Each structure stands twice: as structure tokens, then as C-alpha cells.
Amino acid sequence: MPMPPPPDLASLSLAEIARLAEANRLPPVESWNPAHCGDSEMRIARDGTWYHQGSPIGRAAMVRLFSTILRREPDGRFVLVTPVEKLDIEVEDAPFTAVEMKVEGEGAAMKLAFRLNTGDLVAAGPEHALRFDTRDDGPRPYLHVRRGLEALIARPVYYELVEIALANGSSPPGLWSNGTFFALEPDA
């Protein structure tokens, strides 16, 4: 059965986004422990593009399907796992990219929701933390998606977050979502 296209984020309320995210039933990959079978010959580039044998995977439905069986191992490796096989997959930065954001409310009552490049919807909060890392090539903002998997927040979305954080006047600069404060500074 083909996966339906993701709904339009702008047309949804945050309550609808939360309901859709909750209803998104994923396979229980954390309970599957098959033998390691080798390399999938797949790679997820820093920009979120999925590749197989060096060629981009052009079908969004295939990427969404593969993303549901992605797991991070305790040693930090990424694998695609089914009940009968486990294959390595190379991930250049984060396996997902947050490409769109919706904001409702202000101050401590603010709620932020993100659409990932896979179509998944994630509302930032206690279970889906925002994290801001600083590296030599600039800031790297991340959103916890599930079970140790993160989304790199796309640069335009990051600029929206910074604008909100600077406008709210908090010290240190940061933002609220679902009752949790996230400082823009890594050590704050």
C-alpha cells in the first residue's frame, strides 16, 4: 500500500499536528534484533538527500518508507532494520532535516512544530528537544525526532528560530515550546 503524501503544514493547527504525530505508528525497530547483514550501500547527505549506490532516491515515498526502519545503534552507527536483517547506512550529519516550521502562541505559551524532509511532523517540547551546537563552520541546530535520531534544522528555519528568540528578550536568548525553554547557546 503506498504511503499517502504528507499534509500541508500551514493548513494545520498545532493541535492537529500533535494528533497526526501521535497517530503516526512506526514499526517497533527497537525490539528487532536480527543479525547484521552488511552495508545497504545507502547514504543520507547533510542536506537530507537519500542516496543508493551513489544515485539520489527520487521517490519521496521510498525515502519515507526507509526512514521508518532507521535506527541508531548504541555505538552511534545508523542501520536500516527489519525483523530479519540489519544493514549499515551512512549518515553525514543527521538522518532528517527540519524543512518547515509552524509557530503558535508567544513567550512561555509558544508551541513550535516542524515538518521533516520525510513528511513527518514533530512538535518541539520535553520529548523532542531543540539542541544548538556550535562548530567551526557555524551553528548547527537540531531537533530530537525519536530514539536518538535527530533532524538538522534547515538554515532558513534556523533563521526564523533566531528571530523569535531575539524578539522575546530572554536571557540567555532562546525559545519556548510546549512548556520547555531551549537556549540558543550550547552551554546555557
What global pTM score does this model have?
Answer: 0.85
- 102 and 176 within one domain: yes
pLDDT (tens digit per residue) in 82-137? 999 999 999 999 999 999 999 999 989 999 999 999 989 999 999 999 999 988 88
Mean pLDDT of 36-42: 95
- 101 and 87 within one domain: no
Identity of the residue numbered 22 = E
Identity of the residue numbered 103 = V
- Residues β-bridged to residue 181: 176
In-domain check, residue 71: yes
DSSP state at residue 125 = B
Picking from 76, 91, 106, the residue at the C-terminal end of a domain is: 91
More confident residue, 119 or 6: 119
What is the domain-level CATH number for residue 173? Answer: 2.30.270.10
Which pLDDT score is estimated for 45? 96
Which pLDDT score is estimated for 72? 96
- 146 and 106 within one domain: yes
% of the chain residues with pLDDT over 90 = 70
- 178 and 109 within one domain: yes
What is the domain-level CATH number for residue 41? Answer: 3.10.540.10
Segment holding 70, helix H or strand E: strand 70-72
Query: Helix or strand or coil: residue 153?
Result: strand
Helices and strands (H, E) in the chain, number of each type: 3, 14
Between CA 24 and CA 44 the distance in angstroms is: 22
- 175 and 113 within one domain: yes
> Do 143 and 150 contact (CB within 8 A), yes or no?
yes
- 173 and 101 within one domain: yes
- 152 and 102 within one domain: yes
* Domain interval for residue 121: 96-183
- 47 and 104 within one domain: no
Is the pLDDT score of 1 beyond 70? no
Q: Is the peptide bond before 56 cis (omega within 30 degrees of 0)?
A: no
Which pLDDT score is estimated for 112? 96
> Do 33 and 85 contact (CB within 8 A), yes or no?
no
Which pLDDT score is estimated for 157? 97
- 72 and 38 within one domain: yes
In-domain check, residue 101: yes
- Residues β-bridged to residue 183: 174
pLDDT (tens digit per residue) in 126-172? 999 999 998 888 889 999 999 999 999 999 999 999 999 999 888 88
Number of domains composing the chain: 2
- 128 and 86 within one domain: no
- 172 and 106 within one domain: yes
Between CA 165 and CA 161 the distance in angstroms is: 6
